[in-house]
Every structure is written in C-alpha cells, then in structure tokens.
Amino acid sequence: MLVLMLVGSGMAQELRCNISVSGQQIQGANRNVFQTMQADLYEFMNNRKWTDHVYSMDERIECSIYIRLTEQLSSNEFKGSIQVQLRRPIFNSDYETPLLNIKDNDFHVEYVEYQSMEFNETSNRDNLTNLMAYYAYIILGMDYDSFSPNGGTEYFQKAQQIVNNSQNVRYAGWKAYESERNRYWLVENLLNKSYAPFRDCTYQYHRMGLDKMHEQIEEGRAAVAESLRSIQKVFRSRPSLYILQIFFDAKSDELVNIFSKSYPDERNRVMTILNEVDPSNGSKYERINKAAEEF
C-alpha cells in the first residue's frame, strides 16, 4: 500500500484524507496504475479548496477513503467499491468519534493514467471526480452539522447538485429507482425536512454531548441519551431510512462504550430506544447491561 502524507505548515485545505486504492483482485493488471490513481485521488481530495473558510493544519478534517477495485472492464474502466470514513476530534480529548462509515458498492469509473483530474460543477463529465467530490461534500456537511445546528446544509446542497448532474450518466448509484440506499437517497434523506430531527441529533450528540463529557461526564452523557429521541422520532416516521443505517454503522460500538457506565434509569431508557430503532444490533447493545453488572 502506498502511504501519502502532506508535509508543510501554515494554512491548509479542509481535508486530511487518507486514500487507499487496491486492485489485488484484478488478475494480470498493471499494478502501477493503482498507485497512480491513489496518488491522483490524494491530490484531488487534499489539495482542492472545497469551502470559503480558512483552515489551519490542525483544523483539517480527518477522513479515510478505501477503494477496492474488483473488475477491469477495459484498459481505463474499473468497477469496485468505495468505503468512506470520517472522524471528529472531541473537545479537550485525544478521542476521535466516528461520524461516518459508509460502503458504496457502485464504484464504476474511468481513469486514464497521468491525465489531469477535472471536476465540473455543472455536469458529470467524469464519474470519478464527481463521485469523489460528492463524498467530499458529504464529509464536510456531516462535520459542520456536528459543530453547529444544520451547519452542513451548504455542502449537502452541493452534493445534491452533483446527484442532479448525474441523472443521465450510465453509472449506477445516482438515481432514485436503482436502490433505496445509494448516493441519491443519502443526500435526499439529509436535506429532507421531514427527517430534520436526524440532523438535530448530530449536533446535540456531538456538540452538547461528547464535547462536554471531558468536564461534565454525566451532563454530556445525558445529552447523548436525549439526542437518541430525535433518532427515534425519525425511525417512527420511516423505519427503513438510509441515514438511520448510516448512523448506527458509525455509532453502535460507541453507544455501548458511552452507556456501559450509565445510571440504571438512563441505561434502561437508552436500551429501550436502541432496541426499537436498531434491533439488528440488539445483541451488541446487551453488552451495555452486562458491563453495568460488572461495573
């Protein structure tokens, strides 16, 4: 694996995005093309200016993108999957909380080695750069939402514009009818006012909850518990919503850690909500009660 790090100081772009491209499943391929793609994508994500804001090196958003190529359809055309992970530092702590951990199996792109990567904001002329820009804006939106109420709206709207620009392309992942859990529905869910409590949860969980736990652990934990009521509200309006899966894919383990040392009443309230809204992880949440018995 090729590891790329940015060296420098002073002002910086918004993202510190680690990129990994693997083509091990493709037999007889030119391995150099995967390393070149990785280097080009690293440059595209980390050296592009995505917002109008000024960032210092220490403020850059930590994220990772793992691309696994499984098919080579022609010399320049590839299929595979892309996994996007986003982490956020917690105030006065060395802990980083996961905000996003999503796997997209509709990675279908063309890549020409040594050709410059161009992203057009008004059309999808290159599915690779549009796909990467889409996830850059999702990353930004999720991060901004965790620091201020609905702070990520501008970036979710930019991601939605990429979706709109991609309605006539031949590549999967952009259209509503293809699946209920794809790029179209992710940003639709995030911007749909019917599901606004989800974004309320993002802010309360992180800014009012985790960020306060270093000084006021009980108050911070209570805010996290209260934020789950917003998730419950969204679940009751539409249980199969994609963003609910996104939330629990990122947060289920963390929730176990947070509430394993909770008070009985609070623990029971949280367990009731979690067992309702995320039954697939019910056995995992049982660890909350088991840990409490041992505590």
Query: For the segment 231-275, what is each residue's pLDDT rounded down to a tens digit?
Result: 999 999 999 999 999 999 999 999 999 999 899 999 999 999 999
Q: Which amino acid is at 163?
A: V
How high is the pLDDT of residue 13? 87
Q: What are the b/e assignments for 65-104, b being 16+ CB within 10 Å? A: bebbbeebeeeeebbbebbbbbbbbbeeeeeebebbbbeb
Residue 86 near residue 142, CB atoms below 8 Å: yes
Phi, psi of 237 (to 5 degrees): -85, -35
What is the rounded CA–CA span in Å between residue 29 and residue 141? 36
Alpha-carbon span 275 to 277, nearest angstrom:
6
Q: How far is residue 99's CA from residue 85's CA, in Å, rounded to a whole number? A: 8
- Model pTM score: 0.94
The strand order across the sheet containing 77-89 reads 15-22, 61-72, 77-89, 96-110
Main-chain dihedrals φ then ψ at residue 56, nearest 5 degrees: -90, 170
Query: Which helix (H) or strand (E) segment is 105 a member of?
Result: strand 96-110
* Contacts with 239 (C-beta within 8 Å, 6 or more apart), sequence order: 277
Indicate the helix (H) or strand (E) that contains 71: strand 61-72
pLDDT score of 295 more than 60: no
Tell the burial category of 129 from Cβ atoms under 10 Å away from its Cβ (0-12, 13-18, 19+): buried
Residue 26: HSE in the Cβ half-sphere, 13 Å Cα cutoff = 21
Distance separating alpha carbons of residues 229 and 216, to the nearest angstrom: 21
Percent of the chain at pLDDT exceeding 70: 94
Distance in angstroms (rounded) separating the CA atoms of residues 267 and 226: 12
pLDDT at 5 over 60: no
In this predicted model, what pLDDT tens digit does every residue of 72-124 receive, in sequence order? 999 999 999 999 999 999 999 999 999 999 999 999 999 999 899 999 999 99
How far apart CA 200 and CA 241 sit, in angstroms, is: 16
Considering the chain, what is the average pLDDT of its residues? 93
Please choose, from the candidates 184, 90, 88, the residue with its C-alpha nearest in 3D space to the C-alpha of residue 131: 184
What does the alpha-carbon distance between residue 147 and residue 140 come to, in Å, rounded to a whole number? 11
Distant-in-sequence contacts of 176-182, Cβ < 8 A, 24+ apart: 178/106, 180/240, 180/242, 181/242, 181/245, 182/104, 182/106
pLDDT at residue 30 greater than cutoff 50: yes
